[in-house]
Structure 1
């Protein structure tokens, strides 16, 4: 079974440097498909909150499928304008005033192979420089390995993961690698729907590895998902409301070149805030019940 294999691997691996979460931390998570899809399932986030009893943490997921350190997927109608793409990666993160920033890139960039490493490293350094005004503690995540036939690409993914590690060491940032605790990709697809993207079950099963990568006990908060699921459901509801706020489906009419038609409705975006705050309170209540 994957879970038992992962836990054995965790027991043999050297423990990662612990990352200390502080009461009141505001965590912003940047990345591509792995990050965006996690908000749909909430296993990593719910377990992270449960693993920090007595601390009020908030998590804002700014993942965008297919994204890179250059913000290429965030361009909307400005895909050919690198500066605008990058601003749409950095500015929303800074607006949230994070105290902790999770950064998970390298998967999409790895398709450029070894020749693309300098561009990726330069882009990651540029992103970290742009986020400096937040004065946040940085956690860098390398790409997760693929499985099944897609595992043939794992050599390139490791190259980019090693580059992330080197930047983390240079910047004295935390390097958190959930993939270090996962079994090597084999013929069977255990965690993903296509060898690449985690399924819901994949997120659940990789939760111990994700926590361990942050220096938290592998089993913290995950021993009984039937109990923790009440927290996860509140997390999912909060994530949905936040997603609707920062990525409204009709943003062209609200803020873009057609705002002259419905721009008056842009004021409604702020009306998501009370719903999000209420759900944060609900998460806190359920966490408290969990720790009784």
Structure 2
């Protein structure tokens, strides 16, 4: 947690996110669809245990910096008003704006117009007094034919990225880049270059964490000096699939089991334990999985809170038919708050008991 804050302050910026923050995360489909996996939010939460973060995903597929996708049955101007109102409604202390992907499809790209539109949004959000962070979007992932060549779009994305950086510098705003999101993955992560596949958010989560200053630490090494019982207190929970190395010195020849909280997790000979055996399961991983599940549950509750499926009947031009049911929408709030309390509890690692037990000579 401190590493994130310090790394950002060292660059002369305000923190991208800090304990106790209320984050409004705004953008297009890449932001919106994260609510279904929760993997990027998991990275934020597990790196800041007990920080009482409140994260509100306000992503909207197809959105632009003017909020045009949010217009519903209104005009593009109504979409912009909706974007600003939706952001103000969640009372953010920090706002992440992740725009530029859709704008880069315009050919020709008028970069001056893009900048003016972005500046308009920033001015409109100024009354929130929130710290504002600009997120440089990733390039379109290269996929084989019959999908089109994305090189022209990505060339325009480079211009967009440069302009976002310029805006952030001119206004003294925080900024981080997702331009390296695909750099460390060997297989395609999107279905079409834009939308991440089912496991895509998890697969690129390390790159996302690195972008926001939360790069995964090296494999944690647990050193046990002898056969017996030892209490372990993790600083942060492991990510799904992240391994930890357990080394045990001084064992006599034989085969030994590792028990964590009384359950057998692994079995190896004394030489393997001395060199270090990798673990990828146990109570810490179970807790991390429960944390992600709670994050997804919270996200879906909040989605139905701010984007109810029958919005036209509740708040729109047909509210004369069922508008009386609109009073039920705020009833989501206590469920969201309860789930967030569970998220905060699950984000804090608990002590676990490690035991090495000889099973054969």
TM-score range, shorter chain: 0.7 to 0.9
8 Å Cα contact 1:21/1:52 also seen in 2: no
Structure 1, residues 180-211: CA drift from partner, whole Å, max 9, x if none?
364299xx852111122112322112212212
2:80 paired residue number: 86
Classify 1:206/1:28 alpha carbon distance in 2 versus 1 (closer, same or farther; 3 Å): same
> Quick one: which of 216, 219, 231 aligns to 1:218?
216
1:207 paired residue number: 205
| The 10-residue stretch of structure 1 (212-221 or 68-77) with the greater mean CA deviation from structure 2 | 212-221
8 Å Cα contact 2:99/2:136 also seen in 1: yes
8 Å Cα contact 2:136/2:161 also seen in 1: yes
TM-score by length of 2: 0.71
Which structure has more relative contact order (CA 8 Å, sep 6+)? It is 1
| The 10-residue stretch of structure 1 (168-177 or 207-216) with the greater mean CA deviation from structure 2 | 207-216
Output the aligned Cα RMSD: 2.3
Classify 1:72/1:291 alpha carbon distance in 2 versus 1 (closer, same or farther; 3 Å): farther
Which has the larger strand fraction? 2
> Quick one: which of 194, 197, 208 aligns to 1:196?
194
2:57 paired residue number: 61
Distance 2:39 2:155 in 1: 28
Distance 2:190 2:16 in 1: 30
Structure 1, residues 220-243: CA drift from partner, whole Å, max 9, x if none?
755445442211100000000000
TM-score by length of 1: 0.87
- Whichever of the two has the greater Rg, that structure is 2
2:305 paired residue number: 245
2:336 paired residue number: 276
After the TM superposition, which residues 1-292 of structure 1 pair with which residues of structure 2 at under 5 Å, given as runs? 17=11, 19=15, 21-78=17-74, 81-113=75-107, 115-149=109-143, 150-152=149-151, 153-180=153-180, 182-183=182-183, 190-219=188-217, 223-225=239-241, 226-227=285-286, 228-289=288-349
Structure 2 spans left out of the alignment, 5+ residues: 1-8, 144-148, 218-235, 242-284, 353-361
